[in-house]
Copies of this chain bind each other. A is one copy, B any other.
Amino acid sequence: MEPQAEKLPRPHVPTLDEILGESFPVLDDGFVRVVDYMGDDAAVVQAARVSYGAGTKKVSDDRGLIRYLLRHRHTTPFEMCSLKLHIRVPMDAWRQWIRHRTASVNETSTRYSVAIDAAQRTAPDQWRIQAVNNKQGSDGAIDEDLGTKLTAEEADLQDRIRTVYNGRLEQGVAREQARKDLPLCTYTEAYWKMDLHNLLHFLSLRMDSHAQKEIRDYATVIGREIVARWVPAVWEAFEDYRFGATHFSRLETDVLAAMGAGDMDHAMAMAREIGWLKESKKGGWLRHRERQEFEEKLQALNMRAPWQD
């Protein structure tokens, strides 16, 4: 069968082509590099226009349409773009990474091959203190004297583990079993491919301040160095709508509307009804996580709830 002629140039992005295959270093021995990609800002617009047809004419330009799509969570057009990376990453960061199920992945096998002879080493000034008010986080750096000791201890431990691993291989133990005591921070490599919609979701979670520093370093490089070059209009909209955005629940919206109307009594009454305002025996209000989060959002907006006065 002969196709009918209406030839189309293949979409490509010169600013991304420039860095194709180049490694962005991350951590002490990791990297991220772009292997291939599909689509660009215009591919998102093209897909949106087939769905929404004439209805999109009112949106004056492509940038405006992309912002509209992202703001209103019309996500399917962003799936039309894909990015394929080659990464080198410690296995404990990879454990978090691989939880994103919409990716295509091929990882180096330590059954087929000897494990990469590198584990992530922590420098004396990089040991982090356990956060107290955030059970899953860290908070500030360990004293450097202690850090120096921890680093030396780690180097010694990793060397010892590697010696055991190599010894097992020499004595004929199967690779798939010999590896079992390697440290979680042993480096691995993978090809990783994801569409832009799911990539933005990955970045919104992994560039977030609650993400662990190691994976956040990777996500930040992917976002700022790669996606920003690849689809600049999408990236700009993403930064506006996903980062630094503020969300109020229905209850919060109702309280805020009463405050906006100047009806502080009504605002107080609603807060009381929701259960936010229970008096503590010592005076003041009992701690309430939702109320506290609301107060923090108000503070960022230079506002105060009536019960704070």
Contact = CB atoms under 8 A, between A and B. Distances in A.
A190 B293 CA distance: 30
Contact of A109 (B52, B128, B129): B52
Contacts of A106: 47-48, 50-51, 76-77, 80
A35 interface: yes
Interface in A98-133: 98-99, 101-102, 104-109, 111-113, 119-120, 122, 127-131
A6 interface: yes
Interface string A227-263: 0000000000001110111111111111011101110
Number of copies: 4
Contact of A25 (B1, B11, B303): B1
A277 interface: no
A172 B135 CA distance: 13
B221 A55 contact: no
Contacts of A158: 181
A199 to B, nearest CB: 13
Contacts of A119: 181
B51 A107 contact: yes
Contact of A183 (B37, B48, B84, B182): B182
Interface of A: 1, 3-12, 17, 19-25, 31, 33, 35-39, 43, 46-48, 50-56, 58-59, 64, 67-68, 71, 76-77, 79-80, 82, 84, 86, 90-92, 95, 98-99, 101-102, 104-109, 111-113, 119-120, 122, 127-131, 135-139, 142, 146, 150, 153-154, 157-158, 160-161, 164, 167-169, 171-177, 179-186, 189-191, 193, 195, 212, 221, 225, 239-241, 243-254, 256-258, 260-262, 289-290, 293, 300-303
Contact of A135 (B64, B91, B112): B112
Given A36-B38, A101-B101, A104-B195, A172 B130 contact: yes
B23 A3 contact: yes
A173 B105 contact: no
B253 A109 contact: no
A92 B11 contact: no
Nearest to A112: B55
A71 B290 CA distance: 9
Given A7-B20, A38-B82, 6 more contacts: A52-B136, A55-B136, A80-B104, A161-B181, A181-B184, A241-B249
